[in-house]
Structure 1
Amino acid sequence: MRLLICASEYYPNGSGIANVAYNIVEEMKKSGVNCTVCSPIGPDIKLGNPELINKYGIIGLVYYWSEVSKFLELNQTKFDAVWCHNPLFIKKCSYKNIIVTIHTTYYGEFIHNVGYLHFRIYKKFASIVEKYCLHNLSHSVPFNVVSPKVAKELESIGIEKQRISYIPNGVNTSLFKPSENKTSLKQKFGFPEDSRIILSLGRLTEQKDPIILIKIFGEVSVRINNVILVIAGQGELLNKTRELVQKNNLNNVIFLGYVDEANKPDLYACSDFYILTSKYEGQPLTLLEAMSSGLACIVSDIPNLDIVADARCGIIISCSDTQIAAKSIVKYIKENHLSHNSNSRKYAENNLGWNVISDKYLKEFRGYSNL
């Protein structure tokens, strides 16, 4: 099979889309699929402009997909299938054998009131463009989504339910795994050996809501000893988050900044809990990495994080009331749910390995392209 993968970001740059596309491509190569990757940074075909995307958002994305459209018109018979991640075709796309994966939607971010007013105005505009572009695809084009909630969002903007199927994100279960040497790993990062580590890993943005995380943890830290919040990541709210920590004299919060991919497995493995207080998510890879690492998970009560309940590997909290959220976390930590650690790992191994996810995509591609 000759498969063209089109994504607006790709490993080692980018985040969710980049990592999913890269890991599936690597697995498919093992199955003999001839993969060609087209993104603003290649590696096989370079189209669009990554700086334009970083600076102007959806304008840069539309430009990238317009370049993809031109490329497809000139290469009508070169590929058996084309796998497009969150495509934005501003003109009707007549290319056959396109399969789409949607990770998140601008519509979903808008209706969940993510960000400040000017940001929500941008999301509203982007959601209008998104809806217009998705309807420029042929009505025979199938959609895969990374969570059932994203499927509902697509239905809300007029994509027929029968065209949508759910394939979750995956994780490298061989790389992200529990460790029997937590003490030495804590020493590696300079954490107190007798501390219980609550890990937050990801971009510090309005969507992730690190401010509410600090407010909740402030309540937790006065109720329980030897607990440390480790925040790994960068973003526009980093300075504001630091200032709130200093204002509240929270000496048990550690900022690691950017953590490279090589150190992430050890960071997860030395932690005890993973926490995510987002307002909106597709299906965050960091959550799956935490589960694969055998961490008990504490997540906000948004639909796309229901996997924690399905796997019985943590608790789901409402972040609207910081005191109630903190009490729930303290109760959970004190109850010492050791089974949740093993449940996390088992669920990841059985359902989320990239080999498992790749097989699901491969069946879709072969079925759609009649190969």
Structure 2
Amino acid sequence: MIPMGAYIVGGSIVKVDRHFEYGYRDLAYKVLSSCEVCGDPDYIVVASALPELMAHQVDLGVHIVQWAGRRVPVVRVESGESSGVAAVEVATSLVRSGTARKVVVLGVEKVTEYPTYIANRMYSLILDYEFEVLRGISPPVYAALAMKELMRSGFSRECFSSWAVRMHENATRVPHAMLRFRISVESFKDAQVLAEPVTLYDSFALGDGASAIAISSEPADYEVAVEVKYSSSEVGLPAYARDRVSGLEASTKLFRQLEEKFGVDLRKVAVELHDSYTPYPIALLHSLGYIDTRCELGELEYVNLSGGLKARGHPIGATGIYQVYEVFKLLTGGFDGVSVNSEVGVVHSMSGPDNLSRVLLLRRWK
């Protein structure tokens, strides 16, 4: 049997925010109801990282499908922060194998059921609970170690601040972003410290969200289509076992593969990088040779036009679907005045400090 192609043909998103009035099922129903191309799927793949902790709910996919009045097969995918892109990989496999003609991928996360300090404690479980979390290690601690390593290598503190400033600037043009306001480098002087030298302004915005895309084997039936050209993933060493926490070897390896196999240049394609903390995108771009210690980002004009996890927001298990939808929109005309002159896009998702990295290569079909 000749493998079929897999094409993103549309989708929908809910603004990342603190949706106190909605639960998991409500957010899922809201985004599915607004997705014009999500009707009559052969399969639904749900991405969500924390429902057992946040909502005391297992088998979330089944309950969402029942709540939405659908009677189709469903599976839930959980892979930490990279759950969304993992779900896209599952969906494309279903389509390419001929098992399904159309698959809807739904990402949903609800993190405002608890005070922020409890939500952050639950988020910390992306690390090894017995070996790291019980010893007081949290994601901001690793981000702080990574930032200190980069500063010892010659990067200034202002370099990381400038990334956050740029993400907030990008988010002002994105209606579904959570933090649609500008900040300045001076703002960091009074910002709350999470783990010295990392501050609140170096961290992602934690919010609720839901996003959906439809993946089909029949792109000619739709007005626009973007092919899922390539996907790959890589498991990295745990941060405590590396020579450098900032040595993002898994992510670097995947981007090198994109360069070698497809000639991908991040200065010329739409790209959404995982930037949960400001040291990570700086470390990755430096390892790939796009920036040096002067931290000049000017040529990377198509990077994180959404505002990234930093300012669009990070609804954990749903984030990857937001990233895919955003690149899809950029490749098919843009959204609300934001556009790119490219037919190719890249989505990068990471769980923890490069414990696991995934990439997708998308190409406009029509």
TM-score by length of 1: 0.31
TM-score by length of 2: 0.31
Instruction: Tell which has more relative contact order, 1 or 2 (C-alpha 8 A, sep 6+).
Output: 2
